[in-house]
Structure formats: structure tokens, C-alpha cells
Amino acid sequence: MIGFFIDDNAEDRTRIARLLEQKELPIDGRFEPVDPIKLRDAVLAEKPDLVALDFRLDDEDLPENNYKGGALAQILREALLETPTLDFPIILVSTEENIKQIYSIDKTSHDLFDQKYMKGRLSDRAYRKTCHQEILSLALGYKRIAAALEEGVGAASLLALDEDELQIVPLHGFATDLKNANSVTHVAARMLLRQLIERAGPLLSCKDVAARLGIATEQNQIEQTMEFLFASGFGYEGVFGDGWPRVWRHRLEAWANDLLGEPLTSLTGDERAKRLSEAIGFELRPAVSKWTNSSDELFAFACTTCREPTERRNSLSLYDKYLLPYSDKKRVCFDCYIRGEMDRFPQLAIDEGDIEVAEDIREGRIKR
């Protein structure tokens, strides 16, 4: 496999390509952002497995490179429409400043990139490790999607579920969207990422799992729990599962229901942790509500801003224009709200139905 990193800054081309590459996926920084059509043809001739772009390709004083990453991504995507088996992931690797100030307002280009990464954070080992894991998964996932679409198999195969189990998961809408992707690999990839992997719903990340189980999010505890859940066969093994570890919610909940005789979220964090500890065979520490400082709460979801286990009672619903019937509604805990944590995410707003409760918190009518 081979990937390419394209940047107008010659020094970054080499430096960032080094940071992005791994044994299974070398990254080549040879291409300069010349005339976009020529560049497109040159890149496609190499049959890449991944292309990483800086967002600003127009910094240096060359008359022919007055375009940005979005434009190049667009013509690459267009060229691949007719050859879906050659399709590859396109990621954005740029400075935090460019991502926040230029990319974030260029909404039309958002669908073109599978993921975005910050150049400045790539020197951080943990960030780089996650990035490597994800981009390798993207490159492999694209091939898996292309093969599945060529064979004409549907959602069950991409998600590694048998047809019987697919009936249990409420993914009828997803299967329809997938059919409407008309066998275009990058469209199917985007759906999987945005609609299933990056949102809590049928698939849960480790933070979502902690919230469902009502347990504290200490790293050791989470790792041990996820290991147990994967060993028990609840893990997601479909496309991109190797880059983004996820647990099937319906498997987790069926197991918990058999064990507890009632839904997880009917029990307080304390009770859940106690009864699950006995079943799992290692001690689980319950989550603690950031608002009441108590574990005697009905934790149900991870707060959108702090990702900590949160109870419905002490949280606010967020406006969500992309809410799909199978995705979890986004909520924010009272604590994040009162501390102004939402300011870090300017796209978030309190849902209309909860505006008065928000006011009650601000005015001190609802107290800790």
C-alpha cells in the first residue's frame, strides 16, 4: 500500500509525511501542488491507497496553485466515480488554525474528507498512534467496501452481521441509504463513519459504553471492560472497526438484561457497578454525577462535551439537525453547561424544548 501527502510547504511535505507513515502504509511527499488537473492525473496514475491533503495549497507564490485542498479533493472524488474499486480515502492534515478558521466555514468541502488531523498534534505519541490506527483502517476499509459493493452485498456484510442479527438492529434506514450510495465507495464510507462510527447509536465507543454501564471512565477500568466485552463477542467487526473500536449496543444490552433482569438504565450507577462487577469478575467503580456528585443516578449517555457518564435528569437536550432515527440524541450535562464548556463547540445549541431549564440553571433556580 502507498499513501501520498500533498502540501505547498516543501518542508512540511517531508516532515508530515514521515509523521503520518507507518510500516503497513508508507506515505510519499513527492507531489507539489501544481496545476490541479495535472496533479490529479499524476496522483491517480500511482493508484494510491490514501491521499492526505493540507487545506491551504495556495501559500507559496506560484501562479498555478491558487486552489485549496477542497478543490483538489473534489476533482479526485469526481474522477473516481467511475472506478469505485480504485477509490481511496482522502484526509485533511492541516494546522489547527487553518482547520478552525478556513476549513470550518467551508461547509461544502466537509463531505470530501474522511477525517481531519491537526499537524501540530502529530508529534504527540498518543495522538499519532490513534491517527495511524485510523488511517490504516480507512485504507483497508475502502478496499473492503469496494469489494462488497462490487459483489452487490449490502449492509449486513459491511457491518459483519448475519442477516438474522441485522433484523434486530434498527438499521433499515441505513440499509436504504447504502443502496442509494449507488456503489460509490467514498459515499458508503462517509455514511459508515458519520452515521454509525462517529455517533452513539447502534455502535458505542468506550465512553458511551461507560455511560451505559454507569461506570467511571478511568483508563484502566475502561480498557479492561472493553477487553472483556470484545472477548465476549460484543465487538463490532465491520468496516473501520479496526480503527475505531466499537461495541454493538444490542449485544451489550441483551447480555446486561439477561444478567440484571431489567434494562441497564433502570438501575443507578451504584447498583449497576455492583451487580456487573460480580458478573464480570473484576471490581467496577461506578460513575459519579458531575452535578450531584453521587453515583445514585440513572446514567444513560456520555455528555457531548465532556464525554462523562450523564443522567437525563441533570442534562439538557441539544439541537440536532442531523438526528437519524437510530442515532442517540445529543445532550450536555448541567455541569458543562454552567461552566461554559459549550463555548468550545460553537456549533452546539440547547434544544428549544430545554431552553427554560437552561435558564433555570443559569439563574440558580436549579441548584446542585
Q: Which residues bind other proteins (CB under 8 A)?
A: 167-170, 201-202, 249-250, 253-254, 257, 262-266, 298-300, 311-313, 317, 320, 323, 325-329, 331, 353, 356-357, 360, 366
Compute the least distance from the CB of residue 171 to other proteins, in Å: 11
Counting Cβ atoms within 10 Å, is residue 22 exposed (0-12), middle (13-18) or buried (19+)? Answer: middle
Q: For residue 252, what is its C-alpha cell?
A: 451489550
Compute the least distance from the CB of residue 314 to other proteins, in Å: 10
- Per the CB < 8 A criterion, the answer to whether 195 and 244 are in contact is no
Question: What DSSP letter does each residue of 13-82 carry, written as one string?
Answer: HHHHHHHH-BTTB-EE------SHHHHHHHHHHT--SEEEE-SB---SS-TT---BHHHHHHHHHHHHTT
Compute the least distance from the CB of residue 6 to other proteins, in Å: 40
Compute the least distance from the CB of residue 32 to other proteins, in Å: 47
Compute the least distance from the CB of residue 261 to other proteins, in Å: 9
Residue holding cell 503497513? 24
Q: Which is nearer to other proteins, 17 or 169 (CB)?
A: 169
Q: Which is nearer to other proteins, 102 or 323 (CB)?
A: 323
Question: For residues 37 and 55, what is the distance between their CA atoms, to the nearest angstrom?
Answer: 17
Residue holding cell 440553571? 361
Question: What DSSP letter does each residue of 115-180 carry, written as one string?
Answer: EEEEGGGTTSHHHHHHHHHHHHHHHHHHHHHHHHHHHT--HHHHHT--HHHHHHTT-HHHHHHHHH
Q: Which is nearer to other proteins, 104 or 266 (CB)?
A: 266
Compute the least distance from the CB of residue 265 to other proteins, in Å: 3
Q: Which is nearer to other proteins, 70 or 202 (CB)?
A: 202
Q: Which is nearer to other proteins, 43 or 256 (CB)?
A: 256
Q: Which is nearer to other proteins, 126 or 322 (CB)?
A: 322
